[in-house]
Amino acid sequence: MSAIILFMAGIAAIAGWWLSQQRLTAKPWLEEGLIVDLREQSTSSLPPAKIGLGVFLAVVGSLFALFISAYSMRMNLVDWRTLPVPALLWFNTGVLVLSSVALQWAYMAARRDDIDGLSVGLCAGGASAIIFLVGQLLAWRQLSGAGYFLASNPANSFFYLITAVHGLHLMGGLVALGRTTAKVLRGAEASQIRLSVELCTIYWHFLLLVWLVLLGLLTGWTDNFVDICRQLLS
């Protein structure tokens, strides 16, 4: 359970930092009158939707941290046979990076009010995300073709499960991205959808980050990393 504990410690640090800004040592029973709180001065740039996305990403992060915890506990049992990671995954990773880059580009175009750049960026980002998903499906087919079925070994089960959960999250993102793109193609102003594009971009970067961590886990890179950490500690 160390992955989820680490994750929770991170969340606790963020929450603690935030709480430390909130005058928790105030004595409200002595303070009468209007207090202009920090929120009014500092967060006019943070719309509710952005905070909402932040909280949602924390929930998703917790979900993946728990999968990673379960993975690392299960892999220490005797019947674990690591499966060969298909080379296709590296291609897919590249495509997902491209997708993130395209959305970042779209976001920057939206800030410049460049509606053409915006629509190109959104479409490229969406298309490469779909290619990533198709690539993941092909990787599944390669694995099952080579005899690595879902139930034949826990390593396989985790591989299919974790990639499926990641893919589902990407599909959810594609729905939001599709709606944003549709608005652009219907002729919305860049300023009206700047926020939606920004939210999509944040979500994409987050899913890329999650994917890189998962890839490290599935290919066994993180094992070496964890071993080094362990040796440093002991």
Residues that bind another protein (CB under 8 A): 1, 4-5, 8, 11-12, 15, 19, 22-29, 31-37, 39-41, 43-44, 46, 48-49, 51-52, 55-56, 58-59, 62-63, 66-67, 69-70, 73-74, 77-80, 150-151, 154, 157-158, 161, 165
- 176, burial (CB in 10 Å: exposed 0-12, middle 13-18, buried 19+): middle
Q: Between 105 and 158, whose beta carbon lies closer to another protein?
A: 158
Q: Between 76 and 231, whose beta carbon lies closer to another protein?
A: 76
Q: Report the sign of the C-alpha dihedral through residues 213, 217, 221, 223, in that order.
A: positive
Q: Report the sign of the C-alpha dihedral through residues 206, 129, 46, 106, in that order.
A: positive
CB of 61 to another protein, least distance (A): 9
Q: Between 4 and 217, whose beta carbon lies closer to another protein?
A: 4
Contact predicate 8/59, CB 8 Å? no
Tokens of 145: 């073709």
DSSP of 102-142: HHHHHHHHHHTT-HHHHHHHHHHHHHHHHHHHHHHHHHHHH
Contact predicate 218/162, CB 8 Å? yes
CB of 12 to another protein, least distance (A): 6
Nearest to 170 by CA among 51, 90, 11, 64: 64
Q: Between 17 and 79, whose beta carbon lies closer to another protein?
A: 79
What is the DSSP-derived secondary structure letter of residue 81?
-
CB of 75 to another protein, least distance (A): 11
CB of 58 to another protein, least distance (A): 7
Tokens of 63: 């979900």
Q: Between 36 and 232, whose beta carbon lies closer to another protein?
A: 36
Which stretches of 21-47 are DSSP H helices? 38-42
CB of 141 to another protein, least distance (A): 17
Which amino acid is residue 83, in one-letter code?
Answer: L
CB of 25 to another protein, least distance (A): 7
Q: Between 128 and 136, whose beta carbon lies closer to another protein?
A: 136
The rounded distance, in Å, linking the Cα atoms of 109 and 116 is 8
